[in-house]
Structures are given as structure tokens and as C-alpha cells.
Structure 1
Amino acid sequence: MSRPIDFVIAGLGNSGQEYATTRHNAGYIFIDYLANAMALTQGEGAQMPPVFHRRYDLSADVRDTIFTFTYANGSSTVTNSLRIILMKPLTAMNESGSSVQKVMQYYAVKDSKKLIVVADDLNTQPGILMVQGGGELAAMRGHKGLENIVSVIGTDFVRFRLGIGRPAANSTPISQWVLSPFTKENREMDLFGYLLQLTTQALKDYSMNQDLKLIKKKFARPRKIPNKLTEMNSLIFPVDVHEA
């Protein structure tokens, strides 16, 4: 494609089937969910599941796609078209920065504000979205994937942080908690499913106005979670990975 990139959306996680539905893979899960949601919106049923290309040179699974959608603007309807790179780093979580940097360089994305990173957040309750942009390293300290990206490209990028909460006091070590799968207990999977939908809508709105303050106000905490949630029996959203 010749048109420039509008956004690079990177979901953080660990590659390998054993990590597929773990809390620390919230970013990976979201990217697969988003790829499916975008394809369905555009009526690409014949191309399902969405195709990613495994780019070993970029250390990432990558989907380069044009997303076209319409929205109401006052009394008129507006059609918008975006070229979006969806990516999942194939490095270890703690080395995500090198993959993100390679993808941005390959696609000639020089403005780090076009980078949106989606990751899990221990300090935010399940079902709650945190939205951040810029700021100091302290805003990302504790998440090794985000810290590594900062070490490579700085802090001037957008973060959508998906709440996974912390284990009950003294019940489970943090390292075990984040590498354990989401469960049905306490509606955890249902809350994460709700969060996938919420984050997708937040990203769509952000693509239209790029007003991070407005997105925080509309989608981030404090926010009341609906009493009725869609029941989630799986957090696997199929994608087709082609070796490049």
C-alpha cells in the first residue's frame, strides 16, 4: 500500500499457546478481538479469520489493513478510512520495545503519537479501562513491556491499559497471577469481554477526534460497569497466521 499509516496498534503479551488466555496476554487477546471486529464490520466474512503475517525480520505478527467506517456528525453521515497496522510482538514481554521500533521504522511511522499500545494493568480493577498519553516513566513503571518500549522510543505514545486487578492479599504471587488464565470466577471473563468491547469503541472514537482528554472522560475510570454482561465462554478469537 502506498498511503501512509494512520495508527500502529500494538498488543503486548507472550507468544506461545501456553500463554494464550493469561492475564498478561490481555494485549494479544485484544488485538485478535479487534482484528475480528474490524473484519466483521466491513463485511469481510469470506476473509475470516483475519490474516496476520509472521514477520521474523520485525519480530512481530502484523496485519496491515484499511478500515472504513461511517459515523454521525450532526445531521450528516461521515465516512472515514484509516490505514492501521495491528501488531503482536514475538519477543518476550520484557523486550517488546525492539519489535515496536522495528515495525514503526519499517512502515516509516516517525510520529510516536501514532502508536497505541494495549496492555494489562494490575493496578486497575477488572472491567475498567485506563487511558494515558505522554507523561513520565513513573506512569508505566511496574509493567516491563511498557518500560521497555519507553527505553526505546520514549514516553510520547498512547496507552490503553486493560484492568486485570490484583489477587486477594497473600493468596497468589503476582508473577503467578499474571501468567494464569482468566477464569469464570467473579465474572472475570465476562468483565474482560466487556472491556474488549469498551476499548474497541474508545479506539474508534479516538481515531475520529484524537482528543485523549475526551476519551478519558468518556471511557476511562471512574465508570459504572453494567449489571448485565455478555457471558464469555472463551477468550480465543481466531486469526490466521501466515509465515512471511
Structure 2
Amino acid sequence: MRLIAGLGNPGLQYAQTRHNVGWLVIDELARRAGATWRLQEHAATCEIRLEGTGVPGQKVLLVKPQTFMNSSGKAVLPLLNFYKLPLEALLVLQDDLDSPFGLLKLRPSGRHGGQNGLRDIQRLAGSEAVPRLKLGISRPPPGRDPADWVLSRWQPAEQSTLAELVRLAADAATTWALYGMAEAQAQFNGTDLRPAAVAPPSPSDF
């Protein structure tokens, strides 16, 4: 069994904010499976089954913490303990201020980098070895408070890239659940949906 937790804040006012991009990926995984959500003490959960080529099918518990971001561990760790799963059976889907919007990164462990949901999970787990899928949301424009930025809504011009980012992140989480971290990293690390830079014209073009 695997557990995939998308970090975010509960409430409609946060649903389309940058901080909740992990929830968007979880919702996409649930949508693909036609899963039904149930509300538990600190989390909304649903069970899905993933099938792959050449590997056994895998049962996955999808989790959306109903605590606020800073208390994500309060929702995730009891479920991990209830199912007697090790940390390596958990994948955290998180926003990442330090990556440009459109970039995916999978990591098996490491520091939280200021992401308070991951920080709380690591604190309660007593370990930095928490696998995570980081979805870049970019740093705010100069002069804008990062705390305000992460709670801002996606702009219309970002929607097509966001939809593709969510789709690929759901594919990456599926690959992780079925084939492991190394295979998911090989396929998806470095995925970059930013528009390619336009090269300046060379003298021969004139």
C-alpha cells in the first residue's frame, strides 16, 4: 500500500490558490479512478487502485489534510501509523517557491525548504527522509510578500500550464506508486513547462 498526501488549506477560499497545488494533483488522481471521498478526523481520504505493466497492482490512499498547512503532520502521520506504513511508502505533493512555475522535482528526502506543511510532517516523523513531489510556483514578484503570494489565485494566463503541470504530476505520482522513486525521477525530474526562450536573431538572418 502507498499513501499520497497533497498539501493545502481546507476551504473554498483556498481551493484555487498556489499553496493548494498539491490538492489539485490529488483531485486529478481521484478523478481518474472515479473515487469517492470520505471525511475522517483530520483528513479527507479515498482509496484507489493503480495498475501497471509488469508489476502488481497497488492500493493507494489519497489524502487531503483538513488541518491547515502548518499542521499537515497531524493529518498525515496518524494515517501512516494506522496502516503501519514506513516513511518511504509516503509521497507528499507540495508547492515549491524555489522552483519556477512549471517545474517538477521528485526527492526521496531533504530539508523542508521553508514549506511549512512538509516541515510539520518531518517534525512529527522525526526524520527528513520524507519523499516529496515538488511543484514549482515561482518566487513572487519583487516587493510582494511570499506569504501573500502563496495564497494568491492562479491567473487566467497560467491556467493551461497549470492543467498540464497537474496532469504530469499525477502521472509522476502514479509512476512512483507503481515503480518506485528512482523510476519516477528518471521519467519526470527536470520536466519544465516554461516557454522556451527565443534566441536573438543572428547576423546571417538579415
| TM-score range for the pair, normalised by the shorter chain length | 0.7 to 0.9
Which residue of the other structure, out of 152, 161, 175, is the alignment partner of 1:180?
152
Q: Report the counterpart of residue 87 of structure 2 in structure 1.
A: 112
Residue 141 in 1 paired to residue 113 in 2?
yes
Counterpart Cα distance in 2 of 1:133 and 1:149: 14
Q: Which amino acid aligns with 2:187?
A: K
Residue 163 in 1 paired to residue 139 in 2?
no
* Distance change (3 Å), C-alpha of 1:144 and 1:83: same
1:1-244 counterparts in 2 under 5 A?
Answer: 6-39=1-34, 50-56=35-41, 59-67=42-50, 69-71=51-53, 78=54, 80-109=56-85, 111-135=86-110, 139-153=111-125, 154-170=127-143, 172-185=144-157, 188-212=158-182, 214-221=183-190, 223-225=191-193
Report the alpha carbon displacement of residue 98 of structure 1 after superposing the two structures with TM. Answer: 1.4
Report the alpha carbon displacement of residue 28 of structure 1 after superposing the two structures with TM. Answer: 1.2
Counterpart Cα distance in 2 of 1:210 and 1:151: 24
Give ranges in structure 2 of 5+ residues lacking alignment.
196-206
Report the alpha carbon displacement of residue 169 of structure 1 after superposing the two structures with TM. Answer: 1.4
Q: Which amino acid aligns with 1:166?
A: R
Counterpart Cα distance in 2 of 1:10 and 1:183: 25
Report the alpha carbon displacement of residue 79 of structure 1 after superposing the two structures with TM. Answer: 6.2
- Contact 2:26–2:170 at 8 Å: present in 1 too? no
Q: Which amino acid aligns with 1:218?
A: Q
Q: Tell me which protein shows more strand as a share of its residues.
A: 1
Report the alpha carbon displacement of residue 182 of structure 1 after superposing the two structures with TM. Answer: 0.9
Report the alpha carbon displacement of residue 65 of structure 1 after superposing the two structures with TM. Answer: 2.5
Report the alpha carbon displacement of residue 81 of structure 1 after superposing the two structures with TM. Answer: 1.3
Q: Report the counterpart of residue 47 of structure 1 in structure 2.
A: none
* Distance change (3 Å), C-alpha of 1:90 and 1:79: same
Give ranges in structure 1 of 5+ residues lacking alignment.
1-5, 40-49, 72-77, 228-244
Counterpart Cα distance in 2 of 1:149 and 1:106: 15
What's the TM-score, normalizing by structure 2?
0.87
Counterpart Cα distance in 2 of 1:126 and 1:145: 19
Report the alpha carbon displacement of residue 123 of structure 1 after superposing the two structures with TM. Answer: 0.7
Query: Moved runs in structure 1, 4+ residues, more than 4 A?
Result: none
Q: Which amino acid aligns with 2:140?
A: P
- Contact 1:11–1:30 at 8 Å: present in 2 too? yes
- Contact 2:25–2:167 at 8 Å: present in 1 too? no
Q: 3-state SS of the aligned residue for 1:203?
A: helix
Counterpart Cα distance in 1 of 2:133 and 2:181: 14
Cα RMSD between the aligned structures? 1.9
